[in-house]
């Protein structure tokens, strides 16, 4: 490798190439569609189609956001919401995966547990709030229970489904080769169920996120949901819009940057059972 | 051909059971878990020293059920909730399917709309509650808006996804056989996208149902969610539990008896695009 092998400085790329490179970058492709929307929003506000107090413009929202960050209110709410979600997710995973695998392993356990899992999933997070308020009051416990509850059932559901849909032939093949039950579990069933487990995690967190917002609105001590409902009480539309945008952005980031790649990687690596579905 | 009466039970385990026996068996397997749960619940109330005001016994809930049915309150709340879901989802489906197909016939428009739609699909439901109550006041308008939102974005997003998955060869084939634009839409795009559309409807209505309960807790004076929250104000935990059971049972019924069969049939009938996934 001689030194003069270094490429000569590139000529400035023509406009078309720049455009092509921009269009290819995922960030631009995701963000660009929102530009016309924001412009449209600004135009509608400037034309005063709706009274401004009910429908503030994008600049107002940005200004309100900056003010809230400066005062340190927004970061605290954000941190509270995310901590709750993380706690819920962690407990949900720790409790949900073993339960789901257990339910999936045993035929009778499966048949007994399945209707209950479906039913409790259907009751939905928010319907639990009133009785949890009676039991635990307006407290952090109430909120944590709601999130854990919401996260846990999709995980149980999908983990059990994953274990059930591992082809029997694979289990038998492993047994034929002398695998102990434990090894069948760790080397056949768990890897086989992994794609479903990750799907369950993704669904569960999606529901958990919404449940968290609802819980914060109703229980109301802190968090993004609380901020939005507090704004509702004061009639501050700017802060409500800010809250909604934050929720959408946050979830898009968590889902797009964390969960979707995780799911894709798992399905690619262990995804043999997906075809059985 | 028909087996003699009474033979069903005798050969149940060995031969393939006749339909009635199989149905009874399935029903038994479905009911058993709930029976066990009920026993555990009853035992927990009898053995534990929990005050009944905080943790009602099954017979209290049954009494509450009788009383609520007799006064007509349960029917009224149930009907209010169902009516809202029906109106909101019908409007949303009627608006979103044509829009989805219209958008997806143009490649660039579709590419621009998809991230925006996904963003709003994430927001769907609960996050709109503060704003909806401000715009439409507390009542039917706000709740219908929330349900509309929950269903609309998810179904539009899924419609676009469905149309995109249709192999271009099929569209080309229809065109070369002399189909006009309209015919391509009605005979290729719509049927091809149907499985995705129905999946979207099922998901969206799941969100709508949860959103509805949350919205009713906050923003109205009738409906199952309101019933729960009203009961909480009076510390009538047996009515809360009754409401939860009704919410779960109604959703299981809608999902299993209406939406799931609809989805299965659509996929079976028009499911060519599903394999492309």
CA of A5 to nearest chain B CA: how many angstroms apart?
42
Q: Residues of B numbered 136-195 whose beta carbons fall under 8 angstroms of chain A's beta carbons: which are they?
A: none
Point out the residue among A127, A135, A235 whose CB comes nearest to the CB of B247.
Answer: A127
Point out the residue among A54, A133, A214 whose CB comes nearest to the CB of B232.
Answer: A133
Asked whether the predicted pLDDT for residue B92 surpasses 90, the reply is yes
Mutate to test the interface with B, among A130, A157, A202, A224 (most CBs of B within 10 A): A130
Residues 6+ apart with CB under 8 A from A58: A38, A41, A42, A45
Domain borders along chain B are 58-276
CATH code that applies to domain B58-276: 1.10.3720.10
Q: Which residues of B touch A235 (CB under 8 A)?
A: 134
CA of A193 to nearest chain B CA: how many angstroms apart?
20
pLDDT tens-digit readout, A52-63: 777 788 888 888
Confidence at residue B272, expressed as pLDDT on a 0 to 100 scale: 54
Q: Which fold has domain A76-272?
A: MetI-like fold (1.10.3720)
Q: Which residues of A touch B252 (CB under 8 A)?
A: 118-119, 122
The answer to whether A126 faces chain B, any CB pair under 8 Å, is: yes
DSSP single-letter state for residue A233: H
pLDDT tens-digit readout, A225-271: 888 888 888 878 888 888 888 888 888 888 777 877 877 777 777 65
Confidence band for B277, pLDDT divided at 50, 70 and 90: very low
ipTM: 0.73
Confidence at residue B93, expressed as pLDDT on a 0 to 100 scale: 92
pTM exceeds 0.95, yes or no: no
Mean predicted confidence (pLDDT) in A118-137: 83
Confidence at residue A36, expressed as pLDDT on a 0 to 100 scale: 79
Confidence at residue B256, expressed as pLDDT on a 0 to 100 scale: 83
| Residue B221 burial (C-beta neighbours within 10 Å; 0-12, 13-18, 19+) | exposed
The angle, 0 to 180 degrees and rounded to 10, between the axes of the packed helices B73-104 and B107-123 is: 160
CA of B249 to nearest chain A CA: how many angstroms apart?
7
pLDDT tens-digit readout, B237-255: 888 889 889 988 898 888 8
Mean predicted confidence (pLDDT) in A80-93: 88
Confidence at residue B87, expressed as pLDDT on a 0 to 100 scale: 92
Asked whether the predicted pLDDT for residue B90 surpasses 90, the reply is yes
CB contacts < 8 A, A to B, total 151
């Amino acid at each position: 490798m001689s030194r003069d092998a270094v490429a000569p400085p590139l000529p400035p790329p023509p406009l078309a190439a720049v455009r092509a490179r921009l269009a290819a970058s995922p960030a631009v492709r995701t963000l660009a569609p929102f530009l016309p929307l924001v412009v449209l929003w600004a135009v509608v506000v400037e034309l005063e189609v709706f009274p401004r107090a009910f429908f503030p413009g994008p600049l107002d929202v940005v200004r309100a956001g900056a003010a809230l960050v400066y005062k340190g209110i927004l970061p605290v709410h954000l941190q509270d919401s995310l901590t709750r979600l993380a706690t819920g997710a962690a407990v949900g995973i720790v409790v949900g995966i073993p339960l789901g695998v257990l339910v999936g392993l045993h035929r009778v356990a499966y048949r007994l547990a399945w209707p209950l899992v479906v039913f409790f999933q259907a009751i939905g997070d928010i319907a639990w709030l009133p009785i949890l308020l009676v039991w635990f009051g307006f407290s952090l416990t109430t909120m944590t229970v709601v999130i854990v509850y919401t996260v846990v059932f999709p995980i149980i559901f999908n983990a059990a489904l994953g274990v059930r849909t591992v082809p029997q032939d694979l289990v038998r093949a492993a047994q034929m080769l002398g695998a102990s039950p434990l090894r069948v579990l760790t080397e056949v069933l768990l890897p086989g169920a992994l794609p479903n487990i990750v799907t369950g995690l993704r669904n569960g967190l999606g529901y958990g996120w919404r449940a968290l917002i609802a819980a914060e609105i109703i229980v109301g001590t802190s968090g993004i949901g609380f901020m939005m409902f507090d704004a509702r009480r004061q009639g501050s539309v700017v802060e409500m819009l800010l809250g909604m945008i934050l929720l959408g952005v946050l979830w898009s980031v968590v889902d797009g940057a964390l969960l979707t790649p995780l799911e894709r990687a798992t399905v690619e690596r262990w995804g043999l059972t997906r075809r059985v579905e | 051909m028909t087996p003699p009466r009474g033979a069903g039970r005798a050969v149940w385990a060995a031969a393939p059971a006749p339909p009635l026996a199989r149905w009874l068996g399935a029903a038994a397997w479905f009911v058993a878990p709930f029976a066990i749960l009920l026993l555990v619940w009853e035992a927990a109330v009898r053995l534990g020293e929990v005050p009944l005001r905080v943790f009602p016994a099954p017979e209290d809930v049954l009494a509450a059920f009788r009383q609520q049915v007799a006064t007509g309150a349960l029917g009224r709340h149930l009907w209010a909730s169902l009516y809202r879901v029906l109106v909101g989802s019908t409007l949303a489906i009627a608006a979103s399917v044509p829009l989805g197909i219209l958008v997806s016939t143009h490649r660039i428009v579709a590419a621009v709309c998809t991230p925006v739609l996904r963003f709003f699909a994430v927001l769907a439901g609960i996050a709109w509650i503060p704003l909806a109550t401000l715009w439409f006041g507390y009542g039917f308008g706000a709740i219908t808006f929330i349900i509309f939102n929950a269903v609309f974005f998810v179904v539009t997003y899924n419609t676009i996804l469905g149309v995109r998955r249709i192999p271009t060869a099929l569209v080309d084939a229809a065109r070369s056989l002399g189909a006009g634009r309209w015919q391509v839409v009605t005979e290729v795009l719509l049927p091809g996208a149907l499985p995705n559309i129905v999946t979207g409807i099922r998901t969206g209505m799941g969100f709508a149902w949860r959103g509805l309960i949350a919205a009713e807790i906050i923003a109205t004076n009738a409906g199952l969610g309101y019933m729960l929250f009203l009961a909480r104000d009076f510390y009538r935990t047996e009515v809360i539990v009754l409401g939860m059971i009704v919410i779960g049972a109604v959703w299981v019924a809608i999902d299993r008896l209406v939406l799931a069969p609809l989805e299965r049939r659509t996929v079976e009938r028009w499911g060519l695009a599903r394999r492309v996934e």
